Amino acid sequence: MPDYNNDDIDMITQKVLKRRPILILGGTSEAYQLAEILHDKQINCVTSLAGRTSSPRLPMGKWRIGGFGGVSGLMTYLLTAKINLIIDATHPFARQITDNARQAARITKIPLIRLERPLWKQQKGDIWTNTKNIDEALTIIPKDKNILLALGRKQLARFANRKEAIFFARMINYPDNQDAFKNIEFIISPPTDCASEKELFLSKNIDCIVCRNSGGSVSYGKIEAARELCIPVIMIERTAVSNIMTVHSVDDILNYLAAAEG
Ligand code: NAP
């Protein structure tokens, strides 16, 4: 007879479970920050990146790159890698991977928690027109004006060949199909602080900005710059994610993990 009882077995099971890896669905500044903290705390975790950019910034600790292959591919990954917890820290507008994570978590019964940045709130001086989606935004673009598109690749596609205004798109990398966007001047740079954004907007005589309510601090410089220069913003709203436990900061995740450990 082994010299441990059922309580010991429970405890051992818990300990074994805790050594199993956490999967961070990443690609955001919060996901990089979380990976670094968990790595420092020697918590077993792996960050997954979609692999959209040719030389992505790599997170601390373990990582993998590339799509899983839909819900079934993600489930296979979760079970093969013996994932203990999924933290969906993807961009608030990356909805497909969030939906896949929700389905895969439900079927495999692996806990899922979402880390989603709080929305930006309109402040005094902000000239925003809120729209539900890109199609609605397209209907209110001021004609023949200089428009800065601060959007993702997918949304940009809707502006290909449009001639009603002069378009600029700020991107981290050129899109693969750059030839499809002859009507758009690309500005290849990450989002910057308010002062640099103001310089950019003035140098291109920007009259209006189209962006999404991504939230967070990394790309807030453009919102502050628009406020200071009285440039109108067409703000694409976020739709709420349902049926996933959601927190709004890295600290919230750390508190959740601490509570789960205790
Ligand atoms: P999406 O539309 O939600 O996802 C499309 C597909 O890309 C998913 O079905 C999945 O492929 C794969 N994928 C997405 N995120 C992944 C991840 N972290 N790890 C592995 N595979 C992933 O996403 P998206 O809008 O193209 O964004 C892609 C990634 O870029 C996200 O991880 C996001 O955090 C990051 N990002 C996006 C934006 C944005 O504007 N959308 C901005 C900044 C960063 P399979 O079905 O094959 O698994």
Model confidence pLDDT, tens digit, residues 130-171: 999 999 999 999 999 999 999 998 899 999 989 999 999 999
Q: Which of 148, 31, 146 is nearest to 94 (CA)?
A: 31
CA of 98 to the centre of ligand 1 (A): 9
Task: Using the structure block, give the residue that is written with the tokens 């040719």.
Answer: 54
pLDDT at residue 112 greater than cutoff 60: yes
- What would the pLDDT profile of 225-245 be if each residue is shown by its tens digit? 999 999 999 999 999 888 899
- What would the pLDDT profile of 181-204 be if each residue is shown by its tens digit? 999 999 999 899 999 999 999 999
Q: pTM for the complete prediction?
A: 0.91
Q: Ligand 1: does its nearest atom lie under 6 Å from the Cβ of 155?
A: no
Pocket test for ligand 1, best of 62, 90, 171, 210 (most atoms within 8 A of CB): 90
Two tokens at 214? 């991504």
Q: Ligand 1: does its nearest atom lie under 6 Å from the Cβ of 238?
A: no
- What would the pLDDT profile of 81-111 be if each residue is shown by its tens digit? 999 999 999 999 999 999 999 999 999 999 9
- Quote the pLDDT of residue 12: 45
